[in-house]
Homo-oligomer: A and B are copies of this chain.
Amino acid sequence: MTTNLQNLFNPARVLLVGASDRVLFSAGIARYLLDHGFADRLTMVNASGRAVFDRPAFAGIAQAAGEGPFDLAIVVIPAPAIPDAIEELADIGCALVVVESAGFAETGPAGAALQQELVARAKKRGVRVLGPNCVGTVDTTTKFACVEVLEESLQPGGVALIAQSGIFGGILLDVAPHRGLRLSKTITMGNRADLDESDFLRFLADDPATRVVAMYLEGVADGRRFLDAVTCCAGRKPVVALKGGRTGAGAQAVGSHTASLAGSDDVFDGALRQAGGIRARSLEHLTDLALAFSVCSAPRGPRVAMVTTSGSQGILATDIITDHGLQLAQFAPETLAQVKKIAPSWMTLGNPLDLGPSGIYRDAIRIVLADPNVDALLLHIAIPWGAVRQDFTGRETIYGLLGDPDELRAAARRMPILISHIGHPNFTELVAEAFGEFLPIYPTAERAAFTLATMREF
């Protein structure tokens, strides 16, 4: 039987096993599904058969059969009862199960044995399992989720997130909207007893909503399969991976977290790169890259134009791109000639183009974007808030300063533009309001520069 993983994101009928309106975590799942249009698709089961949020619940899986067939079950009952539950689910024809409960291989030998039994029985009955020790999936298009998600995190976008840890996935969902990240789908895999990153990489390769796949892994379930899956996905869209457990001490910590074998870091790194994936160096680097790829293409060449209002930030970013194999573009003579025409006499012409308080930002950006020797633009805006706060009152002010989205998009001709802004949070917010939907914004010029340099690996 081939499992349709699409059922993890848009099931026609879903069974919640362990439903409750009292147990915090379980109640969150039921409440979320009832509040987001899934009431008609949801059937609930719990040990007592007691109603949940005034909706009937069955006292057992078998008793719920009449409401099926179910193309997905979410299971949040205590770990020891789960192998039997898998059999019962198979009995009523449900072949895809998200096991969210913890208490398996991550807790030691007894838990590992229980997990083995879970896998063996699922396999025997043709049931595919996501988890255990996870919070399942979230889909921002269908709004289906196996966990309670805040409204603000449901804004659809191009970033698919694969995380091993449930908490980690939940936290990234909290952070994403405030970091400018708009998600397509989120998948947390926990102990990966069955379905793993390779399954989801292949699935996401074909997902039209996903423009970039960002992963946090603590190990790879099957090296050969992983290599093939990354190759398949990275041929279609960028795949960025952060791996925990690079070091000996880190790898040891991985064992008691998701019971993964962290494995040799060199082997992981080699396989990922060979397959066309990109290695993120930190959690911030992972989200910085996901943000860039969700709205920009990778630069077609190494020649970077830097336009900045702060000389220091331009210098720091120049150091970073130089460290990582990019270079400052040599502007065409006519570019500098055109800038010179509009520049005040104190301005030094060059790359980085340090505009200081000249106020010629909008025109200078347009001129630089037209230069044929430029493959990417790093734009750094830093103006003391005290100097501008009276005038800067809405996104239109920012458009007046730097150009509006249509103008910038046309001038960029598909060239990536990465903005960085350091300064007062009110200013940062204005910049995000003005450009957040179509340009990636970074908190320092160095982070933008590092992101751009890493994008070149794609």
Is residue A387 within 8 Å, beta carbon to beta carbon, of the partner chain? yes
Q: What does the 1/0 interface line of A332-373 toward B look like (CB < 8 Å)?
A: 000000000000001010101010110000000000000000
Scan residues 280-294 of chain A and give those whose CB is less than 8 A from a CB of chain B.
282-284
Report Cα–Cα, A175/B311, bound state, in Å: 17
Is residue A414 within 8 Å, beta carbon to beta carbon, of the partner chain? no
Scan residues 132-176 of chain A and give those whose CB is less than 8 A from a CB of chain B.
147-150, 163-165, 167-168, 170-171, 173-175
Q: What does the 1/0 interface line of A100-126 toward B look like (CB < 8 Å)?
A: 001100111000000000000000000
Of A43-51, A87-95, A223-231, A314-322, the one contacting chain B is A314-322
Within 8 Å by CB of A244, from B102, B248, B249, B312, lies B312
Within 8 Å by CB of A354, from B108, B256, B313, B384, lies B256
Is residue A182 within 8 Å, beta carbon to beta carbon, of the partner chain? no
Contact in complex: B254, A315 (CB < 8 Å)? yes
Contact partners of A168 in chain B: CB under 8 A: 310-313, 382
Contact in complex: B423, A249 (CB < 8 Å)? no
Contact in complex: B356, A167 (CB < 8 Å)? yes
Report Cα–Cα, A425/B179, bound state, in Å: 10
Report Cα–Cα, A218/B316, bound state, in Å: 10
Contact in complex: B310, A444 (CB < 8 Å)? no
Contact in complex: A245, B319 (CB < 8 Å)? yes
Is residue A385 within 8 Å, beta carbon to beta carbon, of the partner chain? yes
Contact in complex: A384, B173 (CB < 8 Å)? yes
Scan residues 416-458 of chain A and give those whose CB is less than 8 A from a CB of chain B.
422-425, 427, 443-444, 446-447
Contact partners of A97 in chain B: CB under 8 A: none
Contact partners of A150 in chain B: CB under 8 A: 385-386, 424
Contact in complex: B315, A422 (CB < 8 Å)? no
Contact in complex: B382, A322 (CB < 8 Å)? no
How many A residues are at the interface, by size bracket? 35 or more
Contact partners of A148 in chain B: CB under 8 A: 384, 386-387
Among A147, A242, A311, A318, which residue has the most Cβ atoms of chain B within 10 A?
A311
Q: Given the known inter-chain contacts A247-B323, A386-B148, please indicate yes or no for A253 contacting B314, CB distance below 8 A.
A: yes
Tell me how far the C-beta of A188 lies from the nearest C-beta in chain B, rounded to whole angstroms: 10
Within 8 Å by CB of A316, from B282, B309, B310, B356, lies B282
Contact in complex: A247, B385 (CB < 8 Å)? no
Is residue A250 within 8 Å, beta carbon to beta carbon, of the partner chain? yes
Is residue A24 within 8 Å, beta carbon to beta carbon, of the partner chain? yes
Is residue A257 within 8 Å, beta carbon to beta carbon, of the partner chain? yes
Report Cα–Cα, A108/B357, bound state, in Å: 18
Q: Given the known inter-chain contacts A284-B446, A387-B148, please indicate yes or no for A250 contacting B171, CB distance below 8 A.
A: no
Within 8 Å by CB of A102, from B312, B350, B356, lies B356
Contact partners of A313 in chain B: CB under 8 A: 168, 283
Contact in complex: B319, A175 (CB < 8 Å)? no
Among A148, A149, A163, A322, which residue has the most Cβ atoms of chain B within 10 A?
A322
Contact in complex: B385, A422 (CB < 8 Å)? no
Is residue A307 within 8 Å, beta carbon to beta carbon, of the partner chain? no
Contact in complex: B282, A28 (CB < 8 Å)? no
Q: Given the known inter-chain contacts A150-B424, A246-B319, please indicate yes or no for A167 contacting B257, CB distance below 8 A.
A: no
Report Cα–Cα, A356/B101, bound state, in Å: 13
Contact partners of A175 in chain B: CB under 8 A: 422-424
Is residue A268 within 8 Å, beta carbon to beta carbon, of the partner chain? no
Scan residues 52-87 of chain A and give those whose CB is less than 8 A from a CB of chain B.
none
Contact partners of A244 in chain B: CB under 8 A: 312, 315-316, 319
Contact in complex: A283, B446 (CB < 8 Å)? yes
Is residue A300 within 8 Å, beta carbon to beta carbon, of the partner chain? no
Report Cα–Cα, A200/B158, bound state, in Å: 49
Is residue A397 within 8 Å, beta carbon to beta carbon, of the partner chain? no
Contact partners of A346 in chain B: CB under 8 A: 102-103, 107
Within 8 Å by CB of A248, from B316, B322, B423, lies B322
Report Cα–Cα, A249/B384, bound state, in Å: 27
Contact partners of A165 in chain B: CB under 8 A: 310-312
Is residue A9 within 8 Å, beta carbon to beta carbon, of the partner chain? no
Q: Closest 4 interchain pairs by CB?
A: A257-B311, A170-B384, A244-B315, A247-B322
